[in-house]
Structure 1
């Protein structure tokens, strides 16, 4: 399983609403993510709107394409797009700035 980190910029004035929307992510959206190959997916959000995402996938591009083909993702991206800056008219999930991994602490034999 590959690990991916990405960042996006949430509009600081919409930060609280963005957090609220993620308290109740639609069950069908969560199911579509799992079925499309997204695993161990987390989002982290700073006060200034910097969003950091972490996801594990066999192939992120394939997982993104599988999600793009779902109706629920189309609806979710349409609702979420208003929260972001710097996406140049693309959906947020098409605007990830991937961050290269430079270190990973692997479990020791004692773990």
Structure 2
């Protein structure tokens, strides 16, 4: 299992819409997330930023992320959520959510 943390901005005028969407995430989207070996997934908000945390239990992260990105229902979901988000300027090339480095963990 590997832990992932990432960050992205949220547009102030879209914050309530983003929260509302996540009160009722589509069951098909949740099922695809699980199918792609993601567990214990949370998104937090603070001062214009969204912080994501999840645990990956699979053995081919890139393949699972490609599988998720290819899913038509997930693509429709992203059409609703992506306009709410504002990627950070210092993200790596190709990133939407910027990966964060884990510096501490305790079980």
Number of residues paired by the alignment?
100
Worse-matched range after superposition: 59-68 or 15-24? 59-68
SS in 1 for 2:4: strand
Alignment-derived partner of residue 8 in structure 1: 8
Alpha-carbon RMSD across the aligned residues, in angstroms, is 1.8
Alignment-derived partner of residue 101 in structure 2: 100
TM-score, structure 2 as length reference: 0.84
- Whose Rg is larger? 1
Alignment-derived partner of residue 83 in structure 1: 84
Contact 1:38 1:63 in 2 (8 A): no
Contact 2:87 2:97 in 1 (8 A): no
Alignment-derived partner of residue 53 in structure 2: 54
Instruction: Structure 1: give runs of 5+ residues left out of the alignment.
Output: 89-93, 107-111
* Structure 1 ranges of 4+ moved more than 6 A: none
Quote the Cα distance in structure 2 between the aligned partners of 1:56 and 1:104.
13
Cα separation, partners in 2 of 1:87 and 1:65, compared to 1, 3 Å: farther
TM-score, structure 1 as length reference: 0.81
